[in-house]
């Protein structure tokens, strides 16, 4: 049996009861029920359904909405959709959703399809989870993090390049013998900070490009052929949609693998460190609530993550013959046994 020691709990707040009645009264007076679209790039759409969806992030979003007094099917309609790993479908899906009255779209995806999505929904406010603020400014979708100025705002999962160095440091601490680390990514060359961090840790990075999901088998085989001691999963918008496959490949090749998202570790991966995505999904309703009450998305700052999680799967470590240092286990936010 898998047990989880969770050292962080979500405090729901006590304001829900106070705000729910005014919101519902307002909806009744206007005769209009707000309509929200919650759109995922990778999640199986079936996992988003129901009052208690199987998808943990969809559940976090609904919980956050309830805290603010918004209950799906009562005073708000929340359409939950996914393109299930096919980014080329995002713009068409967004256009379909915006073709009916839509008050806000909440989108969790990589940056590549965002321009097409924005064009498809026109002036509909877009709360984007996963926003890369510098990129939004670069392509003209935002003026700045503090004041985006347009119709796009949201929450970033990035705090800057230093998180890459932190992840490599944690990997080396968990696996001191790791001298050759395969770096799987859909975007080469590697960022300079990764190279400099690796040198400081006496680690040689072996960059391997994974341009499509079909390339994972070859990528792991290449890592083994290059005698990698471990694998570091870098950026790739479609990586999260391939969790079972990636975890199975890592187990088959017996390669300790470090991830940036806890969902991989819950699925059997070794360890991860990154933004607490459940927290981002709990915070997204704050944007939705403000927009529904009349705020302009361009006046709502793009926020950075405030919670990060180190998650370690001891069962997987034992299967790989690894002993995780007690000092690292003591700092983990969750240990899966």
Whole-prediction pTM? 0.83
- Name the token pair of 186: 């859909």
pLDDT above 90 covers what percent of the chain? 71
Residue that wins the pLDDT comparison between 66 and 135:
66
Q: How far is CA 277 from the centre of its chain?
A: 5
Closest CA to 288 of 184, 194, 178, 154: 154
Q: Which domains does the chain have, with CATH numbers?
A: 4-158+276-308 (3.40.50.2300), 162-274+310-336 (3.40.50.2300)
In the 3-class helix/strand/coil scheme, how is 23-47 assigned residue by residue? Answer: HHHHHHHHCCCCEEEEEECCCCHHH
Residue 31 confidence (pLDDT): 62
User: What average pLDDT does the structure give for the chain?
Assistant: 89
Burial class (CB in 10 A: 0-12, 13-18, 19+), 162: exposed
pLDDT digit string (tens) for 325-335?
Answer: 999 999 999 99
pLDDT digit string (tens) for 156-199?
Answer: 887 667 788 999 999 999 999 999 999 999 888 988 888 999 99
Q: What ranges make up the beta strands (E) of 56-168?
A: 77-82, 104-108, 126-129, 152-155
Residue 193 confidence (pLDDT): 87
* Mean pLDDT along residues 222-247: 91
138-144 long-range contacts, CB within 8 A, separation 24+: 139/115, 141/114, 141/115, 142/302, 143/298
* Mean pLDDT along residues 273-281: 94
- Name the token pair of 250: 């890592």
pLDDT above 70 covers what percent of the chain? 90
Q: How confident is the model at residue 25 (pLDDT cuts 50, 70, 90)?
A: very low
- Name the token pair of 104: 């806000």
């Amino acid at each position: 049996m898998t047990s989880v020691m969770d050292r962080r709990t979500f405090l729901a707040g006590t304001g829900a009861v106070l705000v729910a009645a005014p919101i519902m009264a307002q909806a009744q007076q206007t005769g209009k029920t707000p309509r929200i679209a919650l759109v995922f790039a990778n999640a199986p759409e079936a996992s988003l359904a129901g009052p208690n969806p199987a998808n943990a992030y969809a559940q976090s979003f609904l919980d956050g909405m309830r805290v603010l007094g918004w209950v799906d099917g009562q005073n708000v309609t929340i359409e939950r959709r996914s393109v299930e790993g096919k980014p080329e479908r995002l713009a068409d899906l967004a256009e379909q959703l915006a073709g009916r009255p839509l008050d806000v779209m909440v989108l969790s995806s990589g940056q590549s399809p965002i321009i097409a999505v924005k064009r498809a929904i026109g002036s509909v406010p877009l709360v984007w989870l996963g926003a890369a603020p510098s990129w939004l400014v670069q392509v003209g979708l935002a003026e700045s993090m503090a004041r985006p100025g347009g119709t796009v705002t949201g929450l970033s999962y990035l705090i800057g390049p230093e998180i890459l160095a932190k992840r490599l440091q944690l990997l080396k601490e968990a696996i001191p013998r790791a001298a050759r680390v395969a770096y799987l990514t859909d975007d080469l060359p590697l960022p300079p900070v990764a190279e400099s961090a690796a040198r400081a840790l006496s680690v040689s990075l072996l960059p391997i490009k994974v341009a499509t999901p079909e390339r994972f088998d070859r990528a792991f085989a290449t890592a083994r052929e290059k005698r990698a001691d471990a694998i570091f999963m870098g950026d790739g918008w479609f990586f999260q949609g391939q969790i079972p496959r990636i975890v199975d490949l890592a187990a088959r090749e017996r390669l300790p693998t470090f991830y940036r998202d806890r969902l991989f570790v819950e699925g059997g991966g070794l360890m991860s460190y990154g933004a607490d995505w459940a927290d981002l999904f709990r915070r997204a309703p704050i944007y939705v609530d403000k927009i529904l009450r009349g705020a302009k998305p361009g006046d709502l700052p793009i926020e950075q993550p405030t919670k990060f999680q180190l998650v370690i799967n001891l069962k997987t470590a034992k299967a790989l013959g690894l002993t995780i240092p007690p000092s690292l286990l003591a700092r983990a936010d969750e240990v899966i046994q």
